[in-house]
Structure 1
Amino acid sequence: MRSLLLPLFALTAAAVEQASNTYDYIVVGSGPGGGPLACNLARAGYSTLLIEAGKDDGDNPEVADLANFNAAANDPNMRWDFFVKHSEDPARELKFQHMVWRKRDGTFYVGLDPPAGATQLGIWYPRTGTLGGCAMHNGGVCALPADSDWNIVVNKTGDTSWEASKMRKYLIKLEKNTDAPAGSDHGVSGWVEISQSYGAVPAQGSDGWNIDTQLAIATGQNASNLASLVRRDILAGGPDKDQQTGFFAMSGHVDKTGKRTGPRWYIRSTLNDPAKYPLTLSLNTFVTRVLFSNDTANPAAIGVEYMQGANLYSASPRYKNGTKGNLTQVFARKEVIVSGGAFNSPQLLKLSGIGPKAELAKFDIPLVKDLPGVGENMADNYEAGILTLANRDLGDTGGYVVIMLNTSKTTHDRNIYAFCGSFSFEGFWPGYPTDYGPSQYECALVHMGPRSQAGYVRLRSADPQDVPDINFRFFESNGDEDLTEILDAVKTIRKGIRAVTGDVAPFDEQHPCAGTGAECTDEAQKDFIKTQAYSHHPTSSCAIGADSDPMAVLDSKFRVRGVRNLRVVDASAFPVVPGAFPVLPTMMLSEKASEDILADAKASS
């Protein structure tokens, strides 16, 4: 692999301009950050190359029908398998009930008692290598961050364009909201359809109605308004939106027929538009590094190097050891934009010579820019849940209902996003989830504003095809405060579930306090949550920060510090996790980056 790590590529700007395989912009990654950005640049008239390591799986029913999202995440034809750690403590790691091992025959074992000869892999963290990125296998849930999550960029950088009051315009620009009431501050003609298509209001007197009634009472709502409460718009604006608690409808990037929407379809519509926008899509294209000019004192990105071929990244279950693709180089007149996500963007920067000096020296990677924050300060939402089994099979539950709570003693903003219904969701492992049958009922919890931001993405080797070393270091900082907030939410929901009457009750809780009406200590429940918490919203591994912050990777315009013509536009850029689900904020971030990049292009022309 040493051939992939040549000294800085020495090309003058004139030589780049003369190259036939040259575009104005190169965007690496087609997910919620890179996909819309590439489309917007092309629609503004700039020749843009969009590079995606996977193929297009948009016609696969597992992907196209949002209800099949669990199958999509398990699909070996499109998934990437990362195996991560939650802490630096090997003994704690071995308490995770869904630990994954590789058996001698090459198949997976999931659990705490592996067979002889099995190799511990870690905690499964599925990503995707497909057109549209992780918006193609997620649950599609759309939620907005608190205003403070946007304003933190203002506070760090002084860039007032990030003020929360100015960020909603990007939601309106991208959104085609099919449930927005007339005159509301929603978009109705954007590129991604957003709707409340996750379920109907349960029929009065049904199991869902009875459960929701008790959950409403437990959370301090007027249950006589149940029908209107469960249809409340979770994406609505207003000065007190971040403090509103209680029931909401779940919104998602899904149309009224249940079909997934998102960046993939925006890319396809741009490619197929009669206007013939100058967008070029290169699938099955695995970028190995960013290329730079020979000005070592003032380095500038001039292109990328890639391998052509399917399943070239070892995270793919279809990867065959030793498979290589022919190395090819392609060039950018203006900029290279990296949008590989919170795992792959820092990996690509490091392989290209941008990152912590000592780490790059360890693998003999020529240094372009010493940026110690690359791959550090990674954060994620903590996720947990209260899973129960009803006394009999459940009837109509009406689909999902969202409950927003504030269990924090340090902020007025809500800090818990819970979604409840007849399902089971206990994290991720190959073949997930466990189906407990038609009596299952769960409220899954997403904890917002985690206090620990200690995770990292570090190289295992200088081989671009090797996956990085990923450790979230959960609960590293102020962990008990976070655990208390999660547990308080569990207790509130448990109070509602235990208040349900009729033959559907009592509910047999599976966790975190197993048993019908069982009493568990706070310490025991916190220990369960701490060891079994999971996540799937990684951010902040190439974070925007202040000029004075040595760990800042990007400035407020997404530019990589100390390097010209290189930006990162994806969830890794957020200084903190943006609310409960990053997919919609990342699409908004992409719209903002489009505006910033086009403004710079206009100013330089």
Structure 2
Amino acid sequence: MLTAGSNARAFLDSLDPSKKYDYVIVGSGAGGGPLAARLATYGHSVLLVDAGDDQTDTYQYQVPSLNLQATEYTPMTWAFFVNHYNDPQRQQQDTKMTWYTPSGELYVGNSPPQGSTPYGILYPRAGTFGGCTAHNAQIIVLPDEGDWQTIVDMTGDKSWAPHKMKKYFTRLERNRYLPASHKGHGYSGWLTTSVTNLLLVIPDLKITSIILGAAASVGQGLGKLVTTAKGLQHIFLLDLNSGVSDRDRRTGLFQMPLSIKNGYRSGPRDFIMQVLEETDSEGQPKHQLDILLSAFVTKVIFQNAGYGKPRAIGVEYARGESIYRADPRASRNRNRPLRPTGNITAQREVILSGGAFNTPQILKLSGIGPATELQRFNIPVVKNLPGVGTNMQDRYETTVIGKAPEDFKLTKKCTWMRSVPDPCLEDWKKNKPIPLRGGYTTSGITLALLKRSSVSADATPDLFLAGAPTAFTGYHLGYSDGGVKDALHWTWIVLKAHTRNSAGTVLLRTRDPRDTPIITFNSFDTGTNDAREASLDSKAMVEGMLMARQAIKDIPHIKKPFKESWPASKVNNSEQMKAWVEQEAWGHHASCTCPIGGDNDPMAVLDSSFRVRGVDGLRVVDASIFPKIPGYFIVLPIYMISEKAADVIHADAKRDR
């Protein structure tokens, strides 16, 4: 593995005041990381700024199966606590509810100590080099063509047409699970994609039985166990990211495409390091890309604010570790003011890539957002854009968990870094073929079931079920350890795509940049104004939960049957299941808080070229730009818009020369 230390000169200890950058990009995640690398290859000078430090040489980053542990790994975690509902009583029914106790501790559950105050539901993000690509489950699924067509229809910009967006996928992908003759894929990009080696699965009859149960639940049952990898492959439809014309309408059982390279996590960091390593004929860096870590951006700086059209000319930042209060290590001392280190100047543009929570927060702290909200905090209004921090959307997710009669062989000896040595980690380190390096070489999520619910808005599947050998009931403090406390459980994650909720908000808590915003998703009936549609998402989720239950019931018995352990007897009929879903559902693909929209849309924050409306020199490139949440898993759509943004920005720069 290439480490950041192999090109330390690009990782700055401090800024050289005499050095000028064309573009300053804030945030090194799925949007900002590829954008910085691509713009540098186009000949532009780029400074990539991130509030976190570099943890890419840790096992938590590198080992695919440790993605749960990575989300609660203190050196890289940002822990937000959010609300699903504005109604406190409804919110507090969630079993994952977190409370701040009188003793200063955090409690999770429905029976907090007397005098506790509500804190919210854990929403893990990453404050580190690579952003959330440093801890995600590495799932790579193309969005539907309709997701791109929505932007075309809203803006009239045909450069967003589905066939044009697909070229960005083929540009960034380095496919390693299909022959190069398969159309619709890329084979020389920066993101390696693979699927779990089925030789890891075959030795455990319990896992092959689960696959057969899943196949039976969608009408693909074979009626007998499969004991060879070749036989197992016949159960799966070939390619979830296929380029075939009916790809968006297919249902059934698939192997999950993953961003994993030879048993290691693959992500934007690979692209960045590749660009940093390229040298000219004299051995000097070929590209002008610098990286400043542990640099917390507090606001965008504008020229001519109040005197004509404002122009972004740079950012204000504070240098140091654990400044932001989403970091569990951050100081809560409110008597100590934040002292900015200085300003960073952008000769051409500032680009915000902080994600769906932090980008609207930075915009508002900079004077761009709803004027009434800014005035409430005495923030001078640079541009009244009422759509900033609105329109927030997410998936809905819940789980059904089955308990096996005995341990899964694949994870039986794994300690998930709780002990030294960890036998599974020692296997992963070996210089051997993937099947001999064990389960840590995969993300753990190997299977995908696609189904269209009875209330799907069109012919596109809206239910996505993913299976993994863990006991996962959602995000709460300590969940990553509790989910792997034994090797007996299998989880079907039920995900509702194409959700109808669009009323989530990101509001300032204070004008202190260190404070996290107030984040409210307004789930289910509280997130739509259409009474007819209010219950459709929960109805679809009930159908998905029942399908997951059936998949567990359909597991062929080896010795003893699997038994459902969650939600189990808590839910006995569809009415109870609907209430359970609305109480417990969560998400982890927050998006759409600075949406692209048409010129006639007063709530549009961006135009179709990622430019913030009403100001010059400022763009947004991250999950917040979508008007509607795309696809099933959001990281690949963000990679694709990052590549598109690089082309748009480069084209604009050439026109201005």
- In which range does the TM-score fall when normalised by the shorter chain? over 0.9
Q: 1:199, 1:510 → 2: CA distance? A: 27
Task: State the AA in 2 paired with 1:389.
Answer: K
Q: 2:199, 2:383 → 1: CA distance? A: 53
Quote the residue 1:282 is aligned against. Answer: 292
What secondary structure, in the 3-state scheme, does the structure 2 residue paired with 1:449 have?
coil
User: 267, 273, 278: which one pairs with 2:278?
Assistant: 273
Task: State the AA in 2 paired with 1:274.
Answer: T
Quote the residue 2:632 is aligned against. Answer: 580
Alpha-carbon offset, residue 92 of structure 1: 1.0
Q: Identity of aligned pairs, percent?
A: 40
Q: Is the 8 A contact 1:198 1:250 kept in 2?
A: no
Quote the residue 1:14 is aligned against. Answer: none
Alpha-carbon offset, residue 204 of structure 1: 8.5
State whether structure 2 residue 383 is matched by structure 1 residue 383: no
Distance 1:156 1:104, change over 3 A: same
Quote the residue 2:511 is aligned against. Answer: 462
Distance 1:314 1:255, change over 3 A: same
State whether structure 2 residue 597 is matched by structure 1 residue 545: yes
Task: State the AA in 2 paired with 1:422.
Answer: P
Q: Kindly provide the CA deviation profile for residues 458-495 of structure 1, in whole angstroms up to 9, marking residues without a partner as x.
A: 10111111110000111122341001111112222322
Q: Which runs of 5+ in 1 are unaligned?
A: 1-18
Quote the residue 1:13 is aligned against. Answer: none
User: 303, 320, 325: which one pairs with 2:314?
Assistant: 303
What secondary structure, in the 3-state scheme, does the structure 2 residue paired with 1:290 have?
strand
> 1:263-412 to 2 correspondence within 5 Å?
263-275=268-280, 276=285, 277-294=287-304, 296=306, 297-320=308-331, 321=333, 322=336, 324-395=338-409, 400-409=446-455, 410-412=457-459
Task: State the AA in 1 paired with 2:477.
Answer: P
Task: State the AA in 1 paired with 2:191.
Answer: V
Quote the residue 1:498 is aligned against. Answer: 553
Q: Which runs of 5+ in 2 are unaligned?
A: 1-16, 224-230, 412-438
Q: 1:282, 1:591 → 2: CA distance? A: 22
> Bigger shift: 359-368 or 504-513?
504-513
Q: 1:439, 1:140 → 2: CA distance? A: 23
Quote the residue 1:10 is aligned against. Answer: none
Q: 1:465, 1:510 → 2: CA distance? A: 41
State whether structure 2 residue 467 is matched by structure 1 residue 420: yes
State whether structure 2 residue 500 is matched by structure 1 residue 489: no
Task: State the AA in 2 paired with 1:247.
Answer: L
Q: 2:20, 2:381 → 1: CA distance? A: 25
Distance 1:466 1:447, change over 3 A: same
Quote the residue 2:621 is aligned against. Answer: 569
Q: Is the 8 A contact 1:394 1:504 kept in 2?
A: no
Alpha-carbon offset, residue 205 of structure 1: 8.7
Quote the residue 1:149 is aligned against. Answer: 147
Q: Kindly provide the CA deviation profile for residues 247-297 of structure 1, in whole angstroms up to 9, marking residues without a partner as x.
A: 11111111122x111112222222232241111111000111101111532
Distance 1:547 1:495, change over 3 A: same
State whether structure 2 residue 234 is matched by structure 1 residue 251: no
What secondary structure, in the 3-state scheme, does the structure 1 residue paired with 2:260 have?
coil
> 1:507-518 to 2 correspondence within 5 Å?
507-514=562-569
State whether structure 2 residue 647 is matched by structure 1 residue 595: yes
Q: Kindly provide the CA deviation profile for residues 75-119 of structure 1, in whole angstroms up to 9, marking residues without a partner as x.
A: 111111111000011111111101112334443221111124433
Quote the residue 1:216 is aligned against. Answer: 215
Q: 1:390, 1:295 → 2: CA distance? A: 63
Q: Kindly provide the CA deviation profile for residues 297-335 of structure 1, in whole angstroms up to 9, marking residues without a partner as x.
A: 211111111111111111111112337344301111111
Distance 1:229 1:159, change over 3 A: farther
Quote the residue 1:89 is aligned against. Answer: 87
Quote the residue 2:522 is aligned against. Answer: 473
Q: 2:200, 2:494 → 1: CA distance? A: 21
Q: Kindly provide the CA deviation profile for residues 410-455 of structure 1, in whole angstroms up to 9, marking residues without a partner as x.
A: 3100111111232122211121143463331221011100001110
State whether structure 2 residue 128 is matched by structure 1 residue 130: yes
Q: Is the 8 A contact 1:392 1:503 kept in 2?
A: no
Q: 1:323, 1:74 → 2: CA distance? A: 28
Q: Is the 8 A contact 2:177 2:195 kept in 1?
A: yes
Task: State the AA in 2 paired with 1:195.
Answer: S
Q: 2:363, 2:163 → 1: CA distance? A: 32
TM-score under structure 1 length normalisation: 0.92
Distance 1:326 1:554, change over 3 A: closer
Q: 1:341, 1:307 → 2: CA distance? A: 19
Quote the residue 2:426 is aligned against. Answer: none
Quote the residue 2:238 is aligned against. Answer: 232
Task: State the AA in 2 paired with 1:293.
Answer: Q
Q: Is the 8 A contact 2:248 2:460 kept in 1?
A: yes
What secondary structure, in the 3-state scheme, does the structure 2 residue paired with 1:141 have?
coil
Q: Is the 8 A contact 2:214 2:253 kept in 1?
A: no
Q: Is the 8 A contact 1:312 1:323 kept in 2?
A: no
Alpha-carbon offset, residue 33 of structure 1: 0.2
Quote the residue 1:5 is aligned against. Answer: none
Alpha-carbon offset, residue 202 of structure 1: 3.7
Quote the residue 1:7 is aligned against. Answer: none
Task: State the AA in 2 paired with 1:481.
Answer: L
Q: 1:138, 1:532 → 2: CA distance? A: 21
> Bigger shift: 199-208 or 521-530?
199-208
- Number of positions where the alignment pairs a residue of Structure 1 with one of Structure 2: 584
Q: 1:188, 1:500 → 2: CA distance? A: 37
Quote the residue 2:205 is aligned against. Answer: 206
> Bigger shift: 473-482 or 135-144?
473-482
What secondary structure, in the 3-state scheme, does the structure 1 residue paired with 2:242 have?
coil
User: 64, 69, 72: which one pairs with 1:71?
Assistant: 69
What secondary structure, in the 3-state scheme, does the structure 1 residue paired with 2:581 have?
helix
> Bigger shift: 224-233 or 541-550?
224-233
Q: 1:569, 1:104 → 2: CA distance? A: 41
What secondary structure, in the 3-state scheme, does the structure 2 residue paired with 1:223 have?
coil
Q: 2:582, 2:511 → 1: CA distance? A: 33
Q: 2:110, 2:559 → 1: CA distance? A: 33
Q: 1:197, 1:273 → 2: CA distance? A: 31
Q: Kindly provide the CA deviation profile for residues 544-582 of structure 1, in whole angstroms up to 9, marking residues without a partner as x.
A: 111111111011110111111110000100111111111
What secondary structure, in the 3-state scheme, does the structure 2 residue paired with 1:142 have?
coil
Quote the residue 2:425 is aligned against. Answer: none
Quote the residue 1:261 is aligned against. Answer: 266
> Bigger shift: 385-394 or 535-544?
385-394
Q: Is the 8 A contact 2:402 2:566 kept in 1?
A: yes
Superposition misfits of 4+ residues, deviation over 6 angstroms = none
Q: 1:154, 1:339 → 2: CA distance? A: 22
Task: State the AA in 1 paired with 2:576.
Answer: A
Q: 2:566, 2:61 → 1: CA distance? A: 30
Q: Is the 8 A contact 1:375 1:457 kept in 2?
A: yes
Q: Kindly provide the CA deviation profile for residues 22-64 of structure 1, in whole angstroms up to 9, marking residues without a partner as x.
A: 3111100000100111111111111111110010100011111
Alpha-carbon offset, residue 513 of structure 1: 4.2
Quote the residue 2:11 is aligned against. Answer: none
> 1:155-194 to 2 correspondence within 5 Å?
155-184=153-182, 185-194=184-193
Q: Is the 8 A contact 1:21 1:331 kept in 2?
A: no
Q: 1:317, 1:378 → 2: CA distance? A: 25
Q: Is the 8 A contact 2:204 2:410 kept in 1?
A: no
Task: State the AA in 2 paired with 1:365.
Answer: I
